[in-house]
Structure 1
Amino acid sequence: MIGGKGKLFAAGLASLALTACAGTEAGKPAAQSANAVSVVRATSPDYDFVVSIPDVKGGPYDVSDKAARESVALAALKNECEAPQVIGESIVSSGTVLFGDQSRAYAMQVRC
């Protein structure tokens, strides 16, 4: 049986896997689609959705700012929830990118 932190990690990992498998959107290069925010329904009874926000430098928001990440997560769910609330987050590392920087994403747990 997986504990609380294990569930968060598994949810974040599943979210990243779905983002990676999403392929490309029509008219967008693969690299641009891979940097997109993704939303998946959570399997945990503690929250309803996991919003994965990739740590992309030079994006439209400052991913290092927790308030900005929360704002992005809430905006991603504006059509799914009446009053979404971010109740937690975890950082999911996925190796390194060019020049040795660590590639990661933030998995934001959101309750409706």
Structure 2
Amino acid sequence: MQVERELELHSCLCHRHIVRLHGQFSTRSHVYLLLEHCGRGSVADILRARGGLTEAEARYYLRQVIAGLRYLHGHGLVHRDLKPSNLLVTKEMQVKIGDLGLARQAAAGGRHWG
């Protein structure tokens, strides 16, 4: 199940640019993830509202995304669904990579599984 795989991967991660998983619970029909609150929405929301970013803003956000990706790749993970709607922004304007539902462990030689 995709949610179980996301929980397994996410439970091992702790980085300032990855959305933190605080816990989870389930009912008979649903699984709920308790994730770090990112009160400013996503980069997609910012792009929709403003129509774009300045070059300085893009650099600021991309530095944080790159730091998060280096962390994931350092742990042998490939995100596989990186897009503006999965880049969440905190009240402090810090970018967090979210939605690890399609993430996979990288196989030997840099290729990813399944």
TM-score (norm 1): 0.31
- Structure ranking higher on relative contact order (CA contacts 8 Å, 6+ apart): 2
Higher strand share goes to which structure?
1
* Larger-Rg structure: 2
TM-score, normalised with respect to structure 2: 0.31
